[in-house]
């Protein structure tokens, strides 16, 4: 391994699932766009410990043994420690280090902070050790680190963090296809309820075990919506994409992952003039997305707030992971 620099900062985006959640865990495709930015800085430590400072999740210089099982560490340090361990397993390194993460975006919205932080730490470590990594290699490392913590997941969030933009993604292979799309007129509403992705994914697995044909049919229907959505996205046909959002929401209701609260917010957005609206991600809470004509944006945002939600300002199609700076 090459000479280390004094300190390196990298950043990576989070994500919003546009279409295909849950089905993507079972090999069907999805559409995802990158939003927000998380930074990770790595620097040498005076001892042989891993020092984690992640104010967003309440950790201030939390010192941990580098090789301790991730599950025994404080929750806020899980993805950072998994990224460090994954990198070291492949590229070595034994001395202590300090990792600091930050974002201007709250992790409570469920917009992919875990994968973003994981990928930003991996990229910062690679630059710190002067290890050149391709995006495919970074995706592989990030995927393993996220799986080490979550145990389940398709990796679509890791793909968004690495590649950025708007992607057509399928886990087998994987297929990661950047789409050329213009500005996506999305309104994002937070339901006020924090969802636990792992629990929801395991819930769907249990339903599939009980009724495999029925659930697989839903996944196949989801794949059809994703293919149509990809075409609509590429030609900027938002009326069609909005209608696909509405159909996808029906599938997610049938899958059992929607909630009355999300549905109330989705109905409010539609009534206020959105082309279409759906939950985004695992369901159970977190966010809804509403595809909205510019002239209806204010009305849709006001309707989401009036229905008890919180509007989250995002810029879809954020750039993928990058090194922001190195000192030393
Ligand atoms: O809850 P989120 O936003 O991380 O989205 C999860 C999406 C799933 O398809 C349910 C899981 C996955 O890893 O693809």
pTM above 0.85, yes or no: yes
pLDDT at 208 over 90: yes
11: left (phi over 0), alpha (psi -120 to 50) or beta: beta
Query: Higher model confidence: residue 4 or residue 284?
Result: 284
Digit-coded pLDDT (tens) for 40-60: 999 999 999 999 999 888 888
pLDDT at position 2: 53
What are phi and psi for residue 80, nearest 5 degrees? -65, -50
pLDDT at position 61: 82
Closest CA to 120 of 161, 178, 90, 149: 161
pLDDT at position 207: 97
List, chain by chain if needed, residues with CB within 6 Å of any ligand 1 atom: 17, 21-22, 24-25, 110, 153-154, 156-157, 197, 201, 281-282
CA–centroid distance, 237 to ligand 1, in Å, is 25
pLDDT at 264 over 60: yes
pLDDT at 82 over 80: yes
CA–centroid distance, 270 to ligand 1, in Å, is 24
Q: Which residue lies with its CA nearest to atom 5 of ligand 1? A: 281
- Looking at every residue in the chain, the average pLDDT score rounds to 94
* Token reading at 56: 């967003």
Query: Higher model confidence: residue 56 or residue 165?
Result: 165
pLDDT at 134 over 70: yes
pLDDT at position 250: 98
pLDDT at 4 over 80: no
Digit-coded pLDDT (tens) for 60-75: 888 999 888 888 888 8
């Amino acid at each position: 391994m090459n000479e280390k620099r004094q300190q390196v900062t990298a950043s990576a985006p989070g994500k919003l699932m546009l279409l295909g959640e849950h089905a993507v865990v079972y090999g069907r495709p999805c559409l995802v766009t990158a939003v927000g930015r998380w930074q990770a800085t790595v620097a040498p430590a005076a001892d042989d410990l891993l020092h984690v400072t992640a104010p967003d999740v309440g950790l201030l210089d939390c010192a941990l043994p580098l090789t301790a099982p991730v599950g025994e560490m404080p929750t806020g340090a899980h993805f950072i420690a998994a990224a460090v361990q994954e990198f070291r397993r492949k590229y070595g390194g034994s001395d202590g280090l300090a990792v600091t993460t930050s974002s201007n975006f709250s992790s409570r919205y469920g917009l992919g902070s875990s994968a973003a932080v994981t990928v930003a730490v991996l990229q910062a470590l690679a630059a710190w050790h002067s290890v050149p990594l391709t995006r495919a290699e970074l995706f592989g490392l990030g995927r393993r680190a996220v799986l080490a913590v979550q145990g389940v997941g398709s990796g679509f969030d890791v793909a968004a963090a690495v590649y950025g933009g708007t992607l057509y993604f399928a886990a087998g292979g994987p297929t990661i296809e950047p789409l050329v799309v213009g500005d996506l007129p999305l309104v994002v509403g937070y339901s006020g309820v924090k969802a636990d992705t792992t629990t929801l994914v395991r819930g769907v697995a249990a339903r599939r075990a009980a009724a495999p044909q029925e659930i697989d049919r839903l996944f196949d229907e989801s794949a059809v919506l994703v293919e149509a959505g990809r075409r609509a996205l590429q030609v900027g046909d938002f009326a069609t994409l909005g209608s696909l959002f509405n159909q996808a929401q029906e599938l997610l209701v049938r899958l059992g992952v929607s909630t009355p609260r999300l549905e109330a917010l989705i109905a409010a957005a539609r009534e206020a003039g959105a082309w279409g609206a759906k939950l985004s991600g695992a369901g159970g809470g977190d966010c809804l997305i509403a595809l909205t004509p510019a002239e209806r944006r204010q009305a849709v945002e006001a309707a989401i707030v009036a229905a008890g939600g919180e509007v989250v300002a995002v810029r879809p199609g954020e750039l993928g992971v990058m090194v922001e700076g190195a000192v030393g």
